[in-house]
Amino acid sequence: MGDDNPTVDQVAVEESDNGKLEENLKSRTTWLRLLFMCIFGLLISLAGMVGSVVVVLGFLWVLFTGEINRQLQQTGQSIAGYIYEIVRYLTFNSEEKPFPFGSAWPSGTTED
């Protein structure tokens, strides 16, 4: 006979881990977080597409006029801030839900 049998302490730890897992699986907040993460996953894709349009329009504006369009620049900054907030939420670096479920839309100024 070897030392294959777990000690009493190991069994107690495994049972408490199973209890914690079961608690997490039954937690309403965990599943609600998943729902919000799926919604924000879709919104970040949409924001990326809109951001791409802003990039193309900004380039065309510079190409044809030779100067930067301040409104497009602020819009791009605002979209970048929004994407940043979503990424922070999705990676569990923030518990605050981004727009439209929590904080306001980013202002588009460089201080954000």
pLDDT at 98 over 80: yes
> CA neighbours within 13 Å on the CB side: how many for 97?
15
Q: CA-CA distances (angstroms) from residue 83 to 2, 62, 67, 68, 102?
A: 55, 24, 26, 22, 14
Q: Is the pLDDT of residue 102 over 50?
A: yes
> Could you tell me if 65 and 56 are in contact, meaning their C-beta atoms sit under 8 angstroms apart?
no
For tokens 């079961």, name the residue: 22
**Whether the predicted pLDDT of 11 surpasses 90:** no
Q: What is the pLDDT of residue 70?
A: 96
CA 8/CA 10 separation, integer angstroms: 5
Domain coordinates in residue numbering, the chain = 36-90
Which amino acid belongs to residue 50?
V
31-89 pLDDT per residue, tens: 999 999 999 999 999 999 999 999 999 999 999 999 999 999 999 999 999 999 999 99
For 9-36, what is the mean pLDDT? 79
- Are 35 and 42 spatial neighbours (Cβ–Cβ below 8 Å)? no
CA atoms within 13 A on the CB side of 96: 9
CB 82 within 8 Å of CB 90? no
